[in-house]
Each structure stands twice: as C-alpha cells, then as structure tokens.
Structure 1
Amino acid sequence: MRRSFYQYLMTLRNPEDHGSVAEFANNAFLDQAFPKQDTHFDSISKYLEENAPYLPSMTIFDEAWTMYQAAE
C-alpha cells in the first residue's frame, strides 16, 4: 500500500534544518487539519492553497511532491 503524502512528509521533519521543505514538514506536523491520508496532488494542493498560511510558496509543495513521487 502506498503511503500518504503526509506520511512521507513526516520523514522530512527536522527542527534543526531550516530548509524550505523541512520547514514545511515541521509546520504540516502542527496542522491538525492537514489531509493525512491523501495521496492526490490536486486535493492536497487545494487544501494548502486555502488553509496553509505557513507555506510561503506553492513551489515548496511542488518540490516536496516531486521528492514524494521519486521515493515511491
């Protein structure tokens, strides 16, 4: 079974890393409404655009998504 994007993103959490993807992962961890079981780009992207003020640019999500796809 394919893991969700959130499950993958949590492998990138690192409070000591101030890179954009690690910061995204750290903030997504604190977002209790994040779609944790989702594996679809469009629905996750829509959620982030509408509900994630902690994500300064959607290109960070695009980068993390590319990493997610490569890891699977």
Structure 2
Amino acid sequence: MLKTFYQFLMTKRNPGSSDPIAEFANNAFYDQSFPKQLTDFDELSKYLEENADYLPTMTIFDEVWKQYQEDM
C-alpha cells in the first residue's frame, strides 16, 4: 500500500529535537488543515507555500520529499 506523504512525514517527528525536518513534522502534526491524503508533489508544495508559515524554507520540504520518494 502506498504511504501518503503525511504518513511518511510523521515518522520524522521528534518533539524534543531542533532538527529542521523533525520541527517540520512536529508542526505538520498540529496543522489541522494539512492535506493528509496527498501524494502529489505539486499539490503539497502549493499547500505548504500558501499555508505553512511554520515552514521557514521550502528546501526542508524538498529534502523530505526526496526521502519520501526514495522510501517508496
């Protein structure tokens, strides 16, 4: 079964960490509007650019997306 990006991102959570990827995952966890079912880069990217002020740079998303692709 294909894992959604959100499901993959949640494996990166670490509430005590200051790692940017862990912080992204922690903040996405609390984002009630995060599109949890998406697997499409463009749709996720658009959502994050427009709504995720907790993500300081899209480079973090790009890095996690690359890991997500490798994991699939």
Give the TM-score range, shorter chain: over 0.9
How many pairs align? 72
Q: Counterpart of 1:32? A: 32
In structure 1, the residue matched to 2:41 is: 41
* Structure 1 residues not aligned, in runs of 5+: none
Task: Report the CA distance between 1:67 and its aligned residue.
Answer: 0.7
Cα RMSD for the two superposed structures: 0.5
Q: Aligned partners of 1:61, 1:50: CA distance in 2, in Å?
A: 13
Overall identity of the aligned pairs, in %? 65
Correspondence for 1:51: 51
Partner of 1:11: 11
Alpha-carbon offset, residue 55 of structure 1: 0.3
* Whole-angstrom distance in 2 between the partners of 1:30 and 1:43: 19
Query: 2 CA distance for matches of 1:35 and 1:15?
Result: 21
Output the amino acid matched with 2:43. S
User: Could you report, residue by residue, the CA deviation over 1:15-70 in whole angstroms, capped at 9, with x for unpaired residues?
Assistant: 12211100000000000100000000000000000000000000000001011111
Instruction: For residue 4 of structure 1, report the CA deviation from its aligned partner.
Output: 0.3
Distance in 1 (CA, whole Å) between partners of 2:31 and 2:59 is 19
Q: TM (normalized to structure 2)?
A: 0.97
